[in-house]
Structure 1
Amino acid sequence: MRLVFFSRIRLAACGIALLAGVSSATAESSHGIAMYGVPALPPGFTALPYVNPDAPKGGTIVFGNLGSFDSVNPFVVKGTPPWQLRFWAYESLMGRSYDEPFSLYGLLAESIETPEDRSWVEFTLRPEATFSDGTPVTVEDVIWSYETLGTEGNLRYRGFWTKIDKIEQTGPRSLRLTFNDTDRELALIAGLRPVLKKQQWDGVAFADADPSEVPIGTAPYIVSDFELGRSITFSRDPDYWGNSLALRRGTNNFDEMRLEYFGDQTVLFEAFKAGELSAVREFNAAKWETDYSFARVQDGAVVKTEIPDQTPSGMTGLVMNTRRAPLDDWRVRQALIEAFNFEFINDTLTGGNLPRITSYFSNSYLAMGSGAATGRVLELLEPFKDTLLPGAIEGYELPVSDGSERNRENLRRARASLEEAGWTISDGRLRNADGEPLELRVLLQHGNLGEEEMQKAVEIYAKALERLGISLTTELVDGAQYVERQDTYDFDLTFFRRALSLSPGNEQMLYWGSEGADAPGSRNLMGMNSPAAEAMIRHMLTTSSSEEFQAATRGLDRILTSGRYVIPIWQYATSRIAHDANMKLPESLPIYGDGIHFMPEVWWSAAD
């Protein structure tokens, strides 16, 4: 994901090597860069392949968010801003095409250069790039943004800063970042950092900024109005500097976008039915079939649209906290997976319409596949064979029930696994050698859209565990308690969702790396500590070969899945959107399907 723009001298020096077949990961094209190979879009491309380049501008759309917000600064640690704010009102040096696994094209930067080993990256800014107040974007702004976000900003930005050896101005409009780590993704990550205006924060401690002060950005939209906790309005900037860019043609078409906040999903849905909201995403396949026959659907004012994608399933389900006994025993975790009657629960809650997640990268060419590991995947895993759990090399598949509520065969296997781990029935309860009963708690957030189905699934699951002598209790807490308890790992099981891309990279270490096993507030909720997994991730980040990358990712998928850390539920391979009929979308769809990059970015209004 690196845009590399070579000077004429560098091109001349490299010409022979390029003709000799130097790895395409060198990203010799000056107009864009891909993580592996070359960008799909040629020099001089006129628009992204999944947009309507002639989409009209205009119209207002309104979306609903759950909960509340107390900040309009998405770059600091303090406060909870609208999650869309970072994406709608701020830009970076490079922009992504979501019809490719990981390719970038120039946005604030007109060019990028990086050597074969990608030990450094250099960007040259566009002379026409300006902030929304009309002042030019300078190298000083960029360097200040990277350093400030890396040292005082939200934790999501700080990890990258530790990988920078130095950042320096190299010309009137150019800067270079030199890295201290061998990691081919870093130059691409550098291109995706947000750029803020330094002068706005002169004399102000950025980390302690007033939560009601909106950072000045460079994007097509600006925050034009807000009421903390209630609503926020984004207006399209008529003087936006990048209107003529190919990367922006046919995008950001609505004149105004507004977010309204609601206390729970029921109230939000009723507001949509009444025409107060423009669109909603529905995650429950059964509700999609039964709850969307209200009057505005029948008279054509609301349209139902389904958007498929070709990305990995990611992982959604109940994650088990291996920091706590007995969940540190993989045999107990296997028993809990056996007892989860997916086929019955899926049929009960979704009408059986959603397929199960079978691994972290299922639904993609990065998935581990069935059966034993072979070829390069096997070679990568073999040095760790003595530490891997059963199934990593031999092959691992989730249990399948007969679909009946009793699930007898799977429960028999669960009992056998528990007995092997030292748990036996006494007085109707499952107890260990010290007579202690097996009691588990599931932490869920009250009113969270994604967890409403999980609450119902847990109710069914708890009855199955009762037959094994296990007590499962649900703890519903508010958002603040939920975050605090997850940050301190105060749970046995909790709702888990990790979306994964076709180009997994540094974020994998945040999700599964040992540094997060005990550090409070990490993304590693299961507490896994696997040298084998970290070796796969390092190989993914350092190889220049797409074949090696795929092999390492498939190896990681095997380690994660056979680790039995999560009880998977269903995957959302198709996005379901109900929307006003005057909201239109392009005919061509990106491989990443629906998301913040798709709706509302490439939609438009056909209203008079």
Structure 2
Amino acid sequence: MRSFLLAILCGLAELVCSVATAAPRHGIAMHGEPALPADFPHFPYVNPDAPKGGRIDYAVQGSFDSLNPLIVQGDAARGLFDQAFGNTVFDTLLMRSRDEAFTLYPLLAESVETDEERTFVEFTLDSRARFSDGTPVTPEDVIFTMELLRDKARPLYQRWIKSVATMEKVGDRGVRFTFGETADRETPLLLALLPILPKHATDAATFDRSSLKPLVASGPYLVDKVRPGELVVLKRRPDYWAKDIPSKIGFDNYDEIRINYIRDENTMFESFKKGMVDVYPESDTARWASGYDFPAATDGRVVKEAFRSRLPSGMYSFVMNTRRAVFRDRAVRAALAGLFDFEWANQNLFSNAYTRTKSFFDGSELSSYGHPASEAERALLAPFPDAVLPEVLAGTWAPPRSDGTGRDRAFLKKGFDALKAAGYEMKDAVLYGPDGRPLTFEILLNGKSGEALGVAWQRTLEKLGIQVSIRSVDSAQYLQRQQTYDFDVILQSYTASLSPGGEQFGRWGSAARDTEGTFNFAGVADPAVDAMLDAVVKARSREDFIAAVRALDRVLLSGSYVVPLYHQPEQWIARWTHIRHPDATPLYGYQLPTWWRAD
């Protein structure tokens, strides 16, 4: 009897603890607690007194033929649902603070509730929330949207929602999602970052077809004008329902936002010099050093600024498509990656402005470089004894270095010896593989951007009899070939955050390998990678999370799927001085949606 009573008491205690944990909150963090209190007045990196008005002109390279950024078909216009320019047209259930690793605060939902295990999440909608046509945002709209995106949106969004077992309305303003076995601790946050569409104004039957008809949503801007492939004009809504809630104070300061599409980078910069574009994020080191000598820059009407974020570097790289026979051997990939002469390129192309990237999370606590694998990492990796190279496990691996002359024979010999060990041999100045075929591949580029890097790699490989061609295509053709994995090698920048999670499945997960439209450009399908991805999203403590990310980093580096290139720790941007920004720089660096016009 005593044991029975103790069991009941323990069960009641567990229930009470669960109920206490599963209470409505003003925010939710991936690890730990939100940094801001429930009564926070605004995010710490905005200017709450920023003036409203005027217009800003942005420029992006390429073209567009769709106003739906949520589907695979078509090339969607930038600036509608956009990490750089903001979610101008579409509101989400919660809003991300860019001054914390991964924490969300109220937007369409005024509160969020989940339990310790995160087996469910419940959102309570703000009673003030309205779509742009004036109708209230309802639980029915949320459920409709989730079902629609689950069935017809991009594969990444589909995967997030397919982890939901049930969706149900709770009371007048609540929506509860109960998760199935495929969900993880990040899932509630990912659902909260999806846009909500009105059931009464969204055509589900044609949703997955590319269209230039604007979708009805609840964000601060409306699409006002469209010139396909050239221009999108957004007008700020004076009746925007959330303009005074804490999460949106200091945002959405322009009356008009213009997204100008320009075919190439040089023309974009010329447009900026002439005042046709207001801000110019810079990535060209030579231009940053000496290209700002035009009148507006010399007389102070244009200023250059460098912002320092506290983020991982990400991975700017050549990506080798392992779906192609030439790249199926890891040893061959490693040898080719080791033959990119960074020291020569950095000196001759970039005035030594960059640092070689040694990790997918370089420069942060998530990087495996310089850190021997911990016991926790070794435990995660134990089922896959061949997945990580010894030098990567020790934290000492780095890409091969040359003397920077472009004629380093030892550098070339190291790469050639690695290829010989993989069964390749030189005949008549051509390198042949074990199958008797020449080692040859094509680098596919989006326009002329990256051509100098491609030529630099090509120049080194040709010395070993490796035939490399470079093909530059327009943005529409590039996007089509990228989405269908119709390439040998592409140049890709994998961004990184301090809270990598579900997006990594789309980049490296086996399930994404054969699904068109994902970011698994390398064609990775490795049980060790899948296991590390699972460990990343299931980690609860920061310590376990760091161990899982470092283990993932080690497996990816050992797989030699990419040719690591370089990074620089600062964000460069030039602006006309009538565009202003807050004094504070958040964890993620400058945030364009918080800037304003002051003339």
Q: TM-score, normalised by structure 2?
A: 0.93
Whether 2:594 is the aligned partner of 1:602: answer: yes
Q: Aligned residue for 2:347?
A: 347
| Cα distance change, pair 457–77 in 1 and its aligned pair in 2 (3 A) | closer
Q: Aligned residue for 1:76?
A: 71
Deviation at 1:213, TM superposition (A): 1.9
* Matched-pair contact (CA < 8 Å) for 2:317–2:493: yes
CA deviation profile, 1:484-526 (whole Å, cap 9, x unmatched): 3333433222112211211111111111111223344432111
* Matched-pair contact (CA < 8 Å) for 1:29–1:38: no
Q: Residues 43-62 of structure 1: matches in 2 within 5 Å?
A: 43-62=38-57
Amino acid at match of 2:404: G
> What is the aligned counterpart of 2:58 among 54, 59, 63?
63
> What is the aligned counterpart of 2:478 among 462, 479, 482?
482
SS of corresponding position for 1:319: strand
SS of corresponding position for 1:368: coil
Runs of 4 or more off by more than 4 Å in structure 1? Answer: 12-19, 26-29
SS of corresponding position for 2:356: coil
SS of corresponding position for 2:585: coil
CA distance in 1, matches of 2:506, 2:341: 31
Q: Aligned residue for 1:498?
A: 494
Q: Aligned residue for 2:453?
A: 457
Aligned length: 581
Q: Aligned residue for 1:6?
A: none
Deviation at 1:18, TM superposition (A): 9.4
CA distance in 2, matches of 1:583, 1:13: 57
* Matched-pair contact (CA < 8 Å) for 1:27–1:38: no
CA distance in 1, matches of 2:386, 2:572: 44
CA distance in 2, matches of 1:93, 1:357: 36
Q: Aligned residue for 2:282?
A: 282
| Cα distance change, pair 30–13 in 1 and its aligned pair in 2 (3 A) | farther
* Matched-pair contact (CA < 8 Å) for 2:150–2:161: yes
CA distance in 2, matches of 1:358, 1:539: 22
Whether 2:438 is the aligned partner of 1:437: answer: yes
Q: Aligned residue for 2:373?
A: 373
> What is the aligned counterpart of 2:36 among 38, 41, 52?
41
| Cα distance change, pair 93–392 in 1 and its aligned pair in 2 (3 A) | same
Q: Aligned residue for 1:338?
A: 338
Q: Aligned residue for 2:84?
A: none
Deviation at 1:473, TM superposition (A): 0.9
Amino acid at match of 1:48: F
> What is the aligned counterpart of 2:536 among 531, 537, 540?
540
Q: Aligned residue for 1:121?
A: 121
CA distance in 2, matches of 1:199, 1:107: 21
Q: Aligned residue for 2:179?
A: 179
* Matched-pair contact (CA < 8 Å) for 2:55–2:254: yes
| Cα distance change, pair 530–275 in 1 and its aligned pair in 2 (3 A) | same
SS of corresponding position for 1:391: helix
| Cα distance change, pair 43–270 in 1 and its aligned pair in 2 (3 A) | same
| Cα distance change, pair 458–238 in 1 and its aligned pair in 2 (3 A) | same
Amino acid at match of 1:605: R
* Matched-pair contact (CA < 8 Å) for 1:70–1:80: yes
Higher mean Cα deviation, 481-490 or 374-383?
481-490
Amino acid at match of 1:163: S
Q: Residues 251-330 of structure 1: matches in 2 within 5 Å?
A: 251-330=251-330
> What is the aligned counterpart of 2:513 among 507, 510, 517?
517
CA distance in 1, matches of 2:327, 2:391: 18
Deviation at 1:390, TM superposition (A): 4.8
* Matched-pair contact (CA < 8 Å) for 2:79–2:259: no
* Matched-pair contact (CA < 8 Å) for 1:27–1:37: no
| Cα distance change, pair 527–78 in 1 and its aligned pair in 2 (3 A) | closer
* Matched-pair contact (CA < 8 Å) for 2:316–2:567: yes
Structure 1: where are the runs of 5+ without partners? 1-11
Q: CA RMSD in A?
A: 2.2
Deviation at 1:221, TM superposition (A): 1.5
SS of corresponding position for 1:559: helix
CA distance in 2, matches of 1:344, 1:377: 35
CA distance in 2, matches of 1:85, 1:272: 22
Higher mean Cα deviation, 466-475 or 152-161?
152-161
CA distance in 1, matches of 2:166, 2:149: 15
* Matched-pair contact (CA < 8 Å) for 2:312–2:366: yes
CA deviation profile, 1:40-73 (whole Å, cap 9, x unmatched): 1112111101111111111211111222222222
| Cα distance change, pair 141–435 in 1 and its aligned pair in 2 (3 A) | closer
CA distance in 2, matches of 1:224, 1:233: 5
* Matched-pair contact (CA < 8 Å) for 1:132–1:240: yes
Q: TM-score, normalised by structure 1?
A: 0.91
Deviation at 1:332, TM superposition (A): 1.6
CA deviation profile, 1:312-340 (whole Å, cap 9, x unmatched): 11111111122333322222222212221
Whether 2:248 is the aligned partner of 1:248: answer: yes
Amino acid at match of 1:422: G
CA distance in 1, matches of 2:568, 2:196: 33
CA distance in 1, matches of 2:580, 2:338: 44
CA distance in 2, matches of 1:482, 1:207: 24
